Structure 1
């Protein structure tokens, strides 16, 4: 396990944060992941030749902060040139299968946040302009939801290692190549420009327009300085916001997912003028109803994410247990709020309204990708582009 942890730390350093000499890294962690934070800090010092600050928090409040120093004396260290941040979080802190009283849960923002349903706050002048990363740390509770109650640490780490390709020394090059592939696809999608999306699968069809003056995002993020980084791994999906009043048709979930701690299976949705008007589910319908009643925007189709269905993520994460992985498992359609990284020229609330973006407090990714899914884009110039066939990208 020690080798796997070192490979994971180096993956964060080399691929996610792209650390270089002189970077000043701050690691945010809670007590349960402190040991890995120290390992990451020690390895980061070897790259940055600068001190790394570990900030310990407890439910979001700072407990203490202290530096991990490199071997070089301060006089021999390179000058600090870039601030870099990462947040390590324990996958076991998510309250799986623990909905409680739904009427109480939906009335508290902090409770909704625990289930990972909060949207990005729409603060247009406070976008992060430094490299950053969200770093999950696996736990038995998380693994047991995917592998069964008899799971042990060996099986947990085997699953996590497969997802992050940590079983050999080629994980860094794999994720670099994956970043290049997603960058190519993202550029190709953005070159098509504003378009209408048609999703067709076994027994359903949904048509929806992309939001005006927005872009496809996901994969790597590039700063104004041309430095790029990966805010999260694994990465498979590219997402775009939708005109939240344009969706028409029906769609069904291709696999189970979680809403407010309840597992939903066999879900089916009917959408008119961007708003869900009917929904059914074999299990979990009450949780869906509670989610849709949080605010008006929760009922609107706000975003789409395209991800290949034939991947390790798709095969081994059979249901979207933790929101960190939701958009990377397979193609998803999102109810509620949009992602801020898809904005372009929007500078105020009026611009958000003009683009017809959904400003709901909450968001929920519904997995729809399978071997039957086809996705086409019809651009404003009338050209039709096939982007997915049988659940796999054609770009």
Structure 2
């Protein structure tokens, strides 16, 4: 068990000397790598305060994360290549519950958030395991449709002002539902999950996209933001809230200003229909189509897990120390798939699969 206390981390950010943020404990690196190499399955249980670090110098947060991600690069790469099974879940805290339900008591807020989480992960069903099997089958159907279609690009448009074209690399693979690790064992990486996803061609993103939900990043809120891309790179970005945090995120490294994920989630889905803003990416990304800054999943391109970094770069696969999802789906979102022959096929209409 690797227990991380948020409040202790905040005290460290506020009071530790600068040089501390250039160090990563060797024992912690060894902890992750020893279990990784031993074939362990990793379960991450997140219980966070969405705005805990809002009064912390963002320079320190980004600096510490960069050092951490560099030290754990082997771990991150093997996890993103699905060599080991892994799963992320979230449980309520009072601070999170009160952010989501500010107008009720702490006890009521906790009960409401627990109820919303359990519904989102299909626990109240008469037979939750059967319900999950059915859900995974539906995601496989959507995934198989996208793979069979083999689109060359996707064109996004909505009333917020999004007008974005995303080119997909040759031999890209759509994934969704469950995955298989290196031993062929089936696992679900995110609970809940409503997405099918792939990777974009690093240099193939052009146009403007607007966020549809707030993004909680490193204990800070980024809200009402837009990004303009040219040849894959974010060349302009604005946020009504969290501009400096967004800037630090996009400028983390060479690959953080490019996209690493394209994910499709229907607007008519259980989490979206709950009409709850969770202020938690694990839930909010599964209520909305989303994209991700930074590192792409190598498993989303043919033979990607066995290819070298240089070969992946040649194929248009983005690499970065970060992978951060942000939400762009709306009830009027249209997505048009464009084939290599130029044929246009509706993928999304009015926020849902066509």
Q: TM-score range by the shorter chain?
A: 0.7 to 0.9
Q: Indicate how the Cα distance of structure 1 residues 324 and 112 shifts in structure 2: closer, same or farther if over 3 A, else same.
A: farther
TM-score (norm 2): 0.79
5+ residue gaps in structure 2? 6-26, 32-38
| Aligned residue in 2 for 1:7 | none
Out of 91, 107, 116, which is 2:47 matched to?
Answer: 91
Matched residues, number: 316
Match status 1:251 vs 2:206:
no
Q: After superposition, give the CA deviation of every residue in 1:32-65 in whole Å (9 maximum; x if it has no partner).
A: 9xxxxxxxxxxxxxxxxxxxxxxxxx98886xxx
| Aligned residue in 2 for 1:19 | none
1:128, 1:274 → 2: CA distance? 26
- C-alpha displacement of 1:391: 0.9
- C-alpha displacement of 1:272: 1.1
2:218, 2:4 → 1: CA distance? 25
Match status 1:376 vs 2:336:
yes
State the secondary structure of the residue aligned to 1:108: helix
Matches within 5 A, 1:202-217: 202=159, 203-217=161-175
Q: After superposition, give the CA deviation of every residue in 1:298-349 in whole Å (9 maximum; x if it has no partner).
A: 1112321110112221244744633433531210122211123313223112
| Aligned residue in 2 for 1:10 | none
Out of 71, 76, 91, which is 1:137 matched to?
Answer: 91
1:61, 1:218 → 2: CA distance? 31
Out of 221, 233, 241, which is 1:283 matched to?
Answer: 241
Q: Indicate how the Cα distance of structure 1 residues 151 and 172 shifts in structure 2: closer, same or farther if over 3 A, else same.
A: farther
State the secondary structure of the residue aligned to 1:267: strand
Q: After superposition, give the CA deviation of every residue in 1:256-313 in whole Å (9 maximum; x if it has no partner).
A: 2223322122211111111111111211111111212211211112321110112221
Out of 223, 226, 230, which is 1:272 matched to?
Answer: 230
| Aligned residue in 2 for 1:313 | 271
Q: After superposition, give the CA deviation of every residue in 1:109-158 in whole Å (9 maximum; x if it has no partner).
A: 27877xxxx9983459x944455433433332332222227342322321
2:78, 2:182 → 1: CA distance? 19
Q: Does the 8 Å contact 2:81/2:297 carry over to 1?
A: no
| Aligned residue in 1 for 2:150 | 193
Q: Does the 8 Å contact 1:260/1:291 carry over to 2?
A: no
| Aligned residue in 2 for 1:121 | 76
State the secondary structure of the residue aligned to 2:118: helix
Larger Rg: 1
State the secondary structure of the residue aligned to 1:138: coil
| Aligned residue in 2 for 1:301 | 259
Q: Does the 8 Å contact 1:258/1:320 carry over to 2?
A: no
Q: Indicate how the Cα distance of structure 1 residues 249 and 31 shifts in structure 2: closer, same or farther if over 3 A, else same.
A: closer
The 10-residue stretch of structure 1 (236-245 or 189-198) with the greater mean CA deviation from structure 2: 189-198
1:148, 1:112 → 2: CA distance? 34
